[in-house]
């Protein structure tokens, strides 16, 4: 019951709200570039893991349903209706059904989890999420014997999502985890950032966060969760199987065919910040390596 993961990043690492508000004001001012450079540079010199600002987290996004440029989701995602919201939970569960967002979060303790977030494109952030362990939800609906994977699906609403009118991906966006990955205490369903309701561009009202995997596994605005005995369809994996594996664990030793994964650019690091080394399993090796014992991580990338 009290199986709780303690993050290696604590709230002491988070810029207090007053401070990050100041920082936003500083950065929008005349010395914006210089200020960003000095702050980011200082933090990095100390090896500190300073969470990214609200501004950075909510304006530099990947959410292709709202466009493929980093600034598109912040501009376009306001059209997404996030209330009411329902999630279908089906497949190999004792209590399948259509659950409202309120039913899903009822009784969950919303925790703060400050996680590194590493996109497969080799940029990264540190994000203070609010959410609950996916395992808690799965335990409530009752996972049946024989279930081996969890499949997830994002909403598909052409009226509200300009990006899905183009065949950029095989909509709806879908992802999947092995059951033991889904049940891992690091895996959360996020409903907030910095204690605020999660913005639409970050996957409102509820999205997955799997911090040891490349960002595309952390599927947004979930409307369906299915327990299954077969490896689920995963959008990026299906699109380019030689470039995006089903597992997609962050791994500095396995390069993307078109770029190195050994280093990453921390968003907000500033003009003079050097790239930083990418950590095995994004820094969560001690917690998750056992899940992959005996697996060839280059073959099952
Ligand atoms: N439905 C959906 N989920 C998605 C994506 C997307 O395009 N659509 N992009 C993924 C990618 S590539 C990344 S890096 C993260 C970005 O999350 P953020 O914008 O909150 O930082 O969301 C992931 N989840
Ligand atoms: Mo990504």
42, 47, 48, 54 alpha-carbon torsion, rounded to 10°:
70
Question: Which of 198, 203, 206 has most ligand 1 atoms within 8 Å of CB, for mutation?
Answer: 203
Q: Is 43 a member of any domain?
A: yes
Q: Is 297 a member of any domain?
A: no
Q: Is 23 a member of any domain?
A: yes
pLDDT digits over 206-232, tens only? 999 999 999 999 999 999 999 999 999
The verdict on the CB of residue 64 being under 6 Å from ligand 1 is yes
- 63 CA distance to ligand 2 middle (Å): 9
Question: Which of 62, 115, 189, 256 has most ligand 1 atoms within 8 Å of CB, for mutation?
Answer: 62
State how far the Cα of 183 lies from the Cα of 186, in Å rounded to an integer.
8
State how far the Cα of 112 lies from the Cα of 120, in Å rounded to an integer.
24
Q: Is 189 a member of any domain?
A: yes
pLDDT for the residue numbered 271: 78
- How far CA 97 is from CA of 45, 100, 104, 272, in Å, comes to 51, 10, 11, 52
H helices then E strands: how many in the chain? 9, 12
Span 281-286, mean pLDDT?
A: 98
Q: Which residues, other chains included, contact 194 with Cβ-Cβ below 8 Å and sequence gap of 6+?
A: 14, 17, 20, 54, 57, 128
Q: Is 5 a member of any domain?
A: no
Q: Which residues, other chains included, contact 286 with Cβ-Cβ below 8 Å and sequence gap of 6+?
A: none
The verdict on the CB of residue 212 being under 6 Å from ligand 1 is no
pLDDT digits over 31-72, tens only? 333 333 443 343 343 334 799 999 999 999 999 999 999 999
What is the total count of domains within the chain?
A: 1
Q: Is 32 a member of any domain?
A: yes
pLDDT for the residue numbered 269: 85
Structural domain containing residue 269: 11-292
CB 85 within 8 A of CB 101: yes
Q: Is 298 a member of any domain?
A: no
Q: Is the pLDDT of residue 240 over 90?
A: yes
The verdict on the CB of residue 215 being under 6 Å from ligand 1 is yes
Q: Which ligand is nearest to the CA of 200?
A: 1
Q: How many CB atoms lie within 10 A of CB 84?
A: 9
State how far the Cα of 85 lies from the Cα of 87, in Å rounded to an integer.
7
Q: Which ligand is nearest to the CA of 164?
A: 1
CB 118 within 8 A of CB 215: yes
The verdict on the CB of residue 218 being under 6 Å from ligand 1 is yes
Q: Is 268 a member of any domain?
A: yes
Q: Which ligand is nearest to the CA of 218?
A: 1
- Domain with residue 168: its CATH number is 3.90.420.10
End-to-end CA separation in angstroms for the chain: 32
The verdict on the CB of residue 85 being under 6 Å from ligand 1 is no
Question: Looking at ligand 1, which residue's alpha carbon is closest to its atom 14?
Answer: 215
């Amino acid at each position: 019951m009290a199986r709780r993961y303690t993050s290696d990043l604590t709230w002491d690492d988070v810029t207090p709200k007053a401070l990050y508000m100041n920082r936003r004001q500083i950065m929008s001012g005349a010395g914006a570039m210089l200020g960003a450079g000095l702050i980011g540079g200082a933090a990095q010199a100390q090896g500190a893991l300073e969470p990214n600002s609200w501004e950075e987290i909510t304006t530099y996004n990947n959410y292709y349903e709202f466009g493929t440029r980093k600034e598109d989701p912040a501009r376009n995602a306001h059209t997404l209706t996030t209330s009411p919201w329902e999630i279908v939970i089906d497949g190999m569960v004792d209590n399948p059904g259509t659950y409202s967002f309120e039913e899903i979060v009822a009784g969950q303790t919303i925790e703060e989890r400050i996680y590194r977030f590493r996109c497969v494109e080799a940029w990264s952030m540190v994000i203070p999420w609010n959410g609950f362990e996916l395992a808690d939800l799965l335990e409530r609906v009752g996972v049946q014997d024989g279930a081996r994977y969890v499949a997830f699906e994002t909403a598909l609403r052409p009226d509200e999502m300009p990006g899905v009118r183009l065949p950029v991906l095989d909509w709806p966006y879908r992802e999947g985890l092995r059951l033991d990955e889904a049940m891992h205490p690091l895996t959360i369903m996020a409903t907030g950032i910095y204690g605020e309701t999660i913005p639409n561009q970050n996957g409102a009202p509820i999205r997955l966060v799997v911090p040891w995997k490349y960002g595309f596994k952390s599927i947004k605005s979930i409307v369906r969760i299915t327990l299954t005995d077969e490896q689920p369809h995963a959008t990026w994996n299906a699109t380019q199987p030689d470039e995006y594996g089903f597992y997609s664990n962050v791994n500095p030793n396995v390069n993307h065919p078109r770029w190195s994964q050994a280093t990453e650019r921390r968003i907000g690091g500033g003009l003079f910040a050097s790239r930083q080394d990418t950590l095995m399993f994004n820094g969560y090796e001690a917690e998750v390596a056992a899940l992959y014992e005996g697996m060839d991580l280059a073959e099952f990338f």
